């Protein structure tokens, strides 16, 4: 095949399009003959490259939204925060994760026994876990549609309550729910116990009350006063 120099053959459609883009970019630009050409780094205000500005550019462009404000909360126990962190990244050792690691087992949710166990199923979509979600929403008197994943649930878990202290309890509530469901799951799996919905409800409410009394409200609330306070407008 004979080589044809660039200046002797016509432009193809792609090349014409690229030239048009270049002309649009430089349209209206004026050259200053008194200045020498130089390279400018757009990610810093002074146009000078720095490692910090490069890191910030990469960090912001590739950042994955994460609900750290809810997870790393001063009124949520550290171990619960770590569990929620692992659950948000899908790192909890549920049965689907164990199968990926080579374990030969039949994957079945220990709570409902109907679906395969994934972290999103057991904490969000399991019919037994939904009993707690319904209880939570009824306590606060709100309506809510749960997203697909743990992370999306926490990302969308805003605090639309007027009272700041009730808002703190509201923000802690899903983490408390996650923790109680997971503890009930482990009781069934490792202690060969039987699921108790009433125990699950009691554990959730009592633990949420304990968190509130320890770091959110002023003065201890009784269980009755706590439930009445949560439902107040």
For the chain, the structural domain boundaries read 78-230
Instruction: Please enumerate in sequence order all residues whose Cβ is within 8 A of that of 49, keeping only pairs 6 or more positions apart, or say none.
Output: 41
The count of other CB atoms within 10 Å of the CB of residue 22 is 10
CA-closest candidate to residue 87, choices 121, 40, 138:
121
pLDDT-derived band at 230 (thresholds 50, 70, 90) equals confident
End-to-end CA distance of the chain: 82
Q: Distance between CA atoms of 103 and 97, rounded to whole angstroms?
A: 9
Residue 126 predicted with pLDDT over 80: yes
Extract the tokens encoding 202: 């009691």
Q: Name residue, tokens 């090349």.
A: 15
Q: Distance between CA atoms of 111 and 93, rounded to whole angstroms?
A: 16
Q: Distance between CA atoms of 206 and 2, rounded to whole angstroms?
A: 84
Average pLDDT on 122-145 reads 94
Q: Distance between CA atoms of 206 and 213, rounded to whole angstroms?
A: 10
Return the half-sphere exposure (C-beta side, CA atoms, 13 A cut-off) of residue 20: 7
What is the tens place of the pLDDT at every residue in 48-57? 888 877 777 7
Q: Are 19 and 10 in contact (CB under 8 A)?
A: no
Q: Are 172 and 80 in contact (CB under 8 A)?
A: no
Q: What is the dihedral of CA 219, 221, 225, 231, to 10 degrees?
A: 80
Mean pLDDT: which of 95-104, 135-144, 171-180, 219-228 is highest? 171-180
What is the tens place of the pLDDT at every residue in 57-68? 766 545 568 888
CA-CA-CA-CA torsion sign (44, 46, 49, 50): negative
pLDDT-derived band at 127 (thresholds 50, 70, 90) equals very high
Extract the tokens encoding 171: 């923000």
| Of 34 and 104, more confident | 104
Lowest mean pLDDT among 32-41, 132-141, 155-164, 208-217: 32-41
pLDDT-derived band at 24 (thresholds 50, 70, 90) equals confident
């Amino acid at each position: 095949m004979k080589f044809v120099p660039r200046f002797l053959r016509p432009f193809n459609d792609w090349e014409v399009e690229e030239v048009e883009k270049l002309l649009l970019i430089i349209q209206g630009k004026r050259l200053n003959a008194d200045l020498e050409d130089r390279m400018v780094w757009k990610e810093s205000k002074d146009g000078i490259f720095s490692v910090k500005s490069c890191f910030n550019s990469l960090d912001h462009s590739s950042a994955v939204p994460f609900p750290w404000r809810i997870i790393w909360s001063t009124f949520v126990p550290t171990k619960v925060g770590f569990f929620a962190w692992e659950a948000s990244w899908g790192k909890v050792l549920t049965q689907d994760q164990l199968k990926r690691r080579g374990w030969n087992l039949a994957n079945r949710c220990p709570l409902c026994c109907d679906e395969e166990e994934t972290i999103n199923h057991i904490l969000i979509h399991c019919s037994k876990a939904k009993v707690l979600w319904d209880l939570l929403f009824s306590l606060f008197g709100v309506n809510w549609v749960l997203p697909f994943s743990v992370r999306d649930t926490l990302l969308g878990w805003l605090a639309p309550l007027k009272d700041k202290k009730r808002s703190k309890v509201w923000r802690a509530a899903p983490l408390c729910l996650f923790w109680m469901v997971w503890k009930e799951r482990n009781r069934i799996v490792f202690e060969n116990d039987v699921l108790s919905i009433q125990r699950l409800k009691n554990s959730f409410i009592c633990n949420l009350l304990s968190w509130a009394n320890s770091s959110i409200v002023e003065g201890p609330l009784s269980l009755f006063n706590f439930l009445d306070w949560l439902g107040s407008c």
